[in-house]
Amino acid sequence: MKRIIAFGILICLLFSVSNVFAAEKDETSYFQINLLLDNSKKLTKEQILLISDLSSDLSAMQRNIVYESNKQTTTTPLVLNLLLGCGIGSFVQGDTYGGTMGLVLDLLSTTLFYTGYMQSLEASTRWSSDGTEGSELIIMGAAMMLGSKIGQLIRPFIYANEYNKNLSSALMSVSMVPVMDQNKEFGMRVAANISF
């Protein structure tokens, strides 16, 4: 009888210690994922695989918290691209492609516009001018500025959508869960936990 009681106490201790280590592993994975996401604005394939591996230890609520606290928003990049231009909002968001394209297009359109303006200013000092010098460059520069601005307003949404989709797929996990079948027997089954 004493052996059964001692064995029961030992089993209870083992379960309580295993729960402590499991909770500690969950917390470690949670903090590692947050640290990884805090230090990067762009998810590489290696980071996605690491996040996917670490997220298998997290509960659905922890995954949801990680997703909501680290998803990309578009407000700041949109306002910066609208007011300042030159792809600054995209650079702040971490989108180097969108930022570079915005910068190059804004510089090129500004150069075309002011070159046309300088041609028309120079032509206005000559009496033999018909008044249309430089107008083509001004129109091309203005059209390119408009196109660049529209592109800079759309790009933060595209980048945020792609980032959030990658983060969501990295946090999706497949795990083993205990189930009870029709014969009231316990077993394990594979379950995919897809959130978002």
Q: CA 113, 114, 118, 124: dihedral to nearest 10 degrees?
A: 50
Higher pLDDT, residue 57 or 98? 98
Predicted model pTM: 0.67
pLDDT band at 49 (very low <50, low <70, confident <90, very high): confident
For 26, phi then psi, to 5°, come to: -60, -45
Q: Largest Cα–Cα distance in the chain?
A: 118
pLDDT at 196 over 60: no
pLDDT at 13 over 70: no
10-19, 41-50, 72-81, 95-104: which range is least confident on average? 10-19
Delimit the domains of the chain by residue range: 2-193
**Which distant-in-sequence residues (6+ apart) come within 8 Å of 67 by Cβ?**
167, 168, 171, 195, 196
pLDDT at 73 over 80: yes
pLDDT at 155 over 90: yes
Alpha-carbon separation of residue 28 from 25, 31, 32, 55 (angstroms)? 5, 5, 6, 11
Arithmetic mean of pLDDT, 10-23:
48
Q: What is the pLDDT of residue 23?
A: 43
> What does the pLDDT look like over 102-144, one tens digit per residue?
999 999 999 999 999 998 888 877 776 676 788 899 999 999 9
Q: Which of 69, 58, 52 is nearest to 23 (CA)?
A: 58
Q: Helices (H) and strands (E) in the chain — how many of each?
A: 7, 2
> What does the pLDDT look like over 174-186, one tens digit per residue?
555 566 667 776 6
The count of other CB atoms within 10 Å of the CB of residue 103 is: 18
